[in-house]
Amino acid sequence: MRTAKLCVLCCCVVVVQFARGRAPVGPPTAASTTLEDFYRAGTQWGDPYEQFLSSANCGMCHGGDDERIHINKPWSGSMHAQSGRDPMWYACLAISEQDTPFIGDMCIRCHVPRAWLSGRGFPTDGSRINRSDRDSINCHFCHRMVDPFYQEGVSPLEDKQILDQLGDRPVDFDSANYVTDPYDRRRGPRGEPNPHSMLLSPFHEDPALCETCHDVSSPLYDRQPDDTYILNEMGKPHPTGNKYDMFPLERASSEWKESEFARHGVDMGGRFGGNKRVVSTCQDCHMPDTTSRSASFGPMRDDMAAHGAVGGNTFTGKMIANLYPDEVDVDQLNKAMARAEDLLKRTVTLQVEQSGDTARVRVINEGGHKLPTGMPDGRRAWINVVFTNDDGEVIAECGAYDFETAELTQDDTVVYEIVLGVDGLVAGKVGLPPGPTYHVVLANAIHKDNRIPPRGFTNEGFRRVQSPVVGAGYSDGQYWDDALFVLPIDAARMTVRVYYQTASKEYIEFLRDENRTNDAGRILYEQWSRTGKSRPVEMAAETIPLAPFSHGDFNGDHRVDLEDYGRWAACLKGPGAGPVEPQCRPADLDADDDVDLADFGRFMVRFTDPQ
């Protein structure tokens, strides 16, 4: 069982937090990387292929303005549709290119596949991406994807022909190492006859399709037997091409593969929406089955995947609406952000329970991967606790967030996040001091990862897929976290909230301040400031009344000091020696009707020496 943390009010703080560091002097040294360092197997730009059609072409039949058809409209507001317009991505791309030239080849391949396949991914800073490219991860791209691991009798025969002609097949699913059909032959999970025909492709209901872009790795490093990472020789592709031999930047899909959802499926009772009770794949939560037509002329079905591709991004759509007003449907962007907020609320269950002078807050992860998951780009979740007295006045708060300044008080609560950094082996080579950093493409170490695992978690399984627990302790099978909060002396009620934030102020400022090549960081900062500063989303909330409790304050001066200590020691009798005499009630802090060493531990947490 994980050791609980204490948020101590007015006394001392024992919650350990990890601050992200930055290079103290000057920028990091750019790695001497080339295009070859970021080579990914699969379809290559320059390969002959027919141009992707615009999503507008598909939308004419697959929904158009009819929102009862859950395809075109939901997709148009999603981050899949906006991945080539996302200002935070452009700001990240600029810093990444400064740190490791040519890494943008890998980034553009995933975010703007049409640009990459058309050769406009070079130069790799994104400067040649055009308006048509910003159709982003669209219908025609996804539905021309080919399973790189051909299954006889299952995959379309056309897939085998494509793979046989491919120069280099992927060895796994990672970092946009996709294979696409060079011709306009579309695929889907049913292969129904229609005006353009559809090849039957089980791959399009397989989480492996999602894994192609939702596991991301740095090929700069090679994993060692002791799970450390050393720099590879520059100017060459990674020696194995296997993602589990590279440094992990994102492992959302691998986390899911090690969960109970992937192994057996979990009956969630419809928690994540749609028509399925049992959740087993990425699509079951992020593209749940609904009752809809696939097209304006198609039959009504109960297993039509809603194409909203819902994630946890709750504010980027606002920035995109400001920056590209003539390219986007603002109404659909707003609806997509509302769906994201709804999904976040479904992902957490909160339990709050008082025990003597403390309260236990249990945060349960109902999702299929870590909470939160994804790229380590400033996203985080935390516990906020507000204590009020009998008059309803706020007397203390843990995990306070200032909605005006976007600043979070972190030293008195638990912040769930992953923090990457560099170790002493490579620090000097990349121009950064050892320790945490926001220069994530140079990172080769995980300095903190206390994110809450999913059902089915095992320490060995998550270590194997490079998503270990660091700076915390979860037992095998644990998919919740417990935090203990010491109750202020006059507390009569407590309200607990779990917040999620897409991007922290510190990360946004980093992207602004470290940019030396273009104005992407400034644009992001201005839009972030205008649109609520990535306003946190309340994932769950619970308010409970507090029963009267003992707190070690014998003389009623709202302090627990040396005078109280002497009187407390006189009450010590040990476990089972109760009942506690009336004058010793303030010493029974855990409310178990005796005064023993357990009470002593709680007393010392509250103790403040006036000297």
Note the pLDDT tens digit of each residue in 545-596: 999 998 888 888 888 988 888 888 898 887 877 788 888 988 999 888 899 9
pLDDT tens digits along 497-518: 999 999 999 999 999 999 999 9
How many CA atoms lie within 13 Å of 427's alpha carbon, on the beta-carbon side? 16
Its sign, for the CA torsion 587, 590, 594, 599, is negative
Per-residue three-class SS string for 351-405: EEEEECCEEEEEEEECCCCCECCCCCCCCEEEEEEEEECCCCCEEEEECCEECCC
pTM of the model as a whole = 0.94
Rg of the chain over Cα atoms, rounded to whole angstroms, equals 27
Q: Which residues pair with 31 in a beta bridge?
A: none
Mean pLDDT of the region 596-605: 89
10 — pLDDT class (breaks 50, 70, 90): very low
Q: Closest Cα partner for 454 from 175, 206, 256, 162?
A: 256
* Angle, CA of 296, 298 and 303, to the nearest 5°: 110
Residue 249 contacts by C-beta under 8 Å, 6 or more apart in sequence? 216, 217, 218, 375, 376, 420, 440, 441, 443
For 608, the token pair is 């403040």
Give the span between the Cα atoms of 582 and 411, in whole angstroms.
Answer: 36
Alpha-carbon span 150 to 235, nearest angstrom: 31
Is the separation of the CB atoms in 412 and 384 below 8 Å? no
Burial degree of 516 (CB within 10 A; 0-12, 13-18, 19+): exposed
Q: Which helix H or strand E contains 160, and what residues bound it?
A: helix 157-165
Section 156-167 average pLDDT: 94
How far CA 472 is from CA of 18, 195, 449, in Å, comes to 12, 55, 7
Nearest to 316 by CA among 527, 474, 122, 10: 527
Q: pLDDT tens digits for 259-286?
A: 999 999 999 999 998 999 999 999 999 9
- Six token digits for residue 481: 């976290």
Section 332-346 average pLDDT: 97
Measure the CA–CA gap between 5 and 484, rounded to whole angstroms: 5
**Positive or negative: CA dihedral 524, 529, 532, 535:** positive
Confidence of residue 14 (pLDDT cuts 50, 70, 90): very low
Of these ranges, 43-47, 84-88, 189-193, 299-303, the one predicted with the greatest mean pLDDT is 84-88
Q: Where are the domains of the chain?
A: 5-26+344-545, 35-342, 562-606
C-alpha span between 416 and 472 (Å, rounded): 10
CA torsion angle for 498, 502, 507, 509 (degrees, to 10)? -110
| Mean of per-residue pLDDT scores for the chain | 91
Residue 197 confidence (pLDDT): 77
Mean pLDDT, residues 386-398: 97
The answer on pLDDT for 24 being more than 60 is: no
Spatial CB neighbours of 258, under 8 Å, sequence gap ≥ 6? 456, 457, 458, 461, 462, 464, 465, 467
Name the band, by pLDDT with cuts 50, 70 and 90, for residue 521.
very high
**Tokens at residue 369, please?**
């991967």
Q: Do 453 and 478 touch, CB atoms closer than 8 A? A: yes
- What distance in Å separates the CA atoms of residue 527 and residue 533, rounded to the nearest whole number? 8
Q: Please choose, from the candidates 22, 114, 35, 41, the residue with its C-alpha nearest in 3D space to the C-alpha of residue 437.
A: 22
pLDDT of 227:
97
DSSP designation for 42? S
C-alpha dihedral (255, 260, 266, 268), degrees to nearest 10: -50
Of the pLDDT bands very low, low, confident and very high (cuts 50, 70, 90), residue 387 is very high
Dist. CA 367–CA 146, nearest whole Å: 28
